[in-house]
Amino acid sequence: MAPTQFLITGAAGYIGGTVLTDLLKKYDASSVSVVVRKPEQRELFEGLGVNIVLSDMSDATKLKSLALEHDVVFNYAVAFGGDEASIQALVDGLEERAAKTGTKPVYIHTGGTGTVMYGADGKAGTDEWTDEQYDRWASLPNTAFFYGGYKMIGKISAYTILSPTVYGRGTGPGNKLSLQLPAYTRYAKEHGQAAYIGEGKNIWGNVHIEDLCELSISVAQYALANPDKTTASEEWHGFETLIYSGVDTHTWGPVIETLGDLLHARGDISKPSAKQIGEGEGILYMFGGNSWLAKSKKAEALGYKPKQKDLITSMKDALVTK
């Protein structure tokens, strides 16, 4: 039997790169291909033994042909708007592969709980979503963050892994930093003190990058081994294959106060703790809304058992020394 062929888009990024690292621990590098958008990114992957493909994500013809050659596509090159054209090209290629080979390829899509973010000014929220509220997901507007690509029904196993705040240092060859905590850190260093939005009582879910990537690969392996169990139906609009990766929740105010104390102890900022600022006064990825889901029963059914340190412990480990 020919080895499973994997394709990763966004492998130079935070999540895609860490998935690549984990994948190479389990599979031969010659069975893994990565898509890079810039010629200078090629050197990140040289020496790893993977196949390097230069392609812009707007080249639908190229993306479709690439998907046609692979059993599993991990797509981490997704804009907040969803980038439906590139998603469709990858799905079309996989569906054509299914028709030609008689096997069922797998598509792993990345999504975020920013799709269901609500509230503002750091006010606490009480509304809890689940990844099984299919009609509720279907009622969201197409303009919601990350929404493109969620509704996938067809001849392939297409999963969307929904993630909240992702923390921890990435292990890929490119970007090793997440979005939210680095944004709060940049603000603190620019202004001499950490800050959170409004009341700081708003709630987000969280997951360590390595737990998230382990789940993503586990989902792909499950889908390959159980093709008859991974079909989304017209009745539920394709939303059965959403899986939430979040492990815990946090309230932003206390987290950022701790961040401020850690940065102050390092001598990086002049004042400890954190101040309040208004919605929109911070920089990108500083949030005043709420965004989390209940722990996924689907993930638990796949044996998802997170092993990494919690957010606060991980943050302390990263900042106790210069």
Residue range 128-183, pLDDT digits in tens? 999 999 999 988 887 787 776 677 777 899 999 999 999 999 999 999 999 999 99
pLDDT of residue 238: 82
φ, ψ at 33 (rounded to 5°): -115, 145
pLDDT of residue 33: 98
CA–CA distance, 304 with 2 (Å, rounded to integer): 28
* % of the chain with per-residue pLDDT over 70: 97
Q: 102 or 320: whose pLDDT is higher?
A: 102
Q: Is residue 101 part of a domain?
A: yes
* Number of domains the chain contains: 1
**Is the sign of the CA dihedral 16, 22, 26, 27 positive or negative?**
positive
Which structural domain range is residue 88 located in? 6-319
Q: Is residue 288 part of a domain?
A: yes
Q: Is residue 26 part of a domain?
A: yes
**Length of the chain in terms of residues written:** 322
CA–CA distance, 169 with 176 (Å, rounded to integer): 6
189 has pLDDT over 70: yes
pLDDT of residue 149: 67
Overall average pLDDT of the 249-272 stretch: 98
Written in H, E and C, the secondary structure of 63-122 is HHHHHHCCCEEEECCCCCCCCHHHHHHHHHHHHHHHHHHCCCCEEEEEEEHHHHCECCCC
Under the banding of pLDDT at 50, 70 and 90, the label for residue 46 is very high
CA–CA distance, 269 with 277 (Å, rounded to integer): 17
CATH of residue 74: 3.40.50.720
Average pLDDT, whole number, for the chain? 93
Tell me which DSSP letter residue 47 carries.
T
CA–CA distance, 17 with 174 (Å, rounded to integer): 7
Q: Is residue 1 part of a domain?
A: no
13 has pLDDT over 80: yes
Query: What are 54's two structure tokens?
Result: 């230069």
Q: Which pTM was predicted?
A: 0.95
Give the least confident one: 77-81, 105-109, 210-214, 272-276: 77-81
Contacts 24+ apart (CB under 8 A), 82-89: 82/142, 82/146, 82/147, 82/148, 82/149, 83/57, 83/148, 83/149, 84/148, 84/149, 85/58, 85/60, 86/9, 86/57, 86/58, 86/60, 87/148, 87/149, 88/60, 89/60, 89/61, 89/63, 89/64
Overall average pLDDT of the 291-296 stretch: 96
Query: What are 84's two structure tokens?
Result: 């439906």
Give the least confident one: 39-53, 146-160, 252-266, 267-281: 146-160
Give the least confident one: 146-160, 191-205, 240-254: 146-160
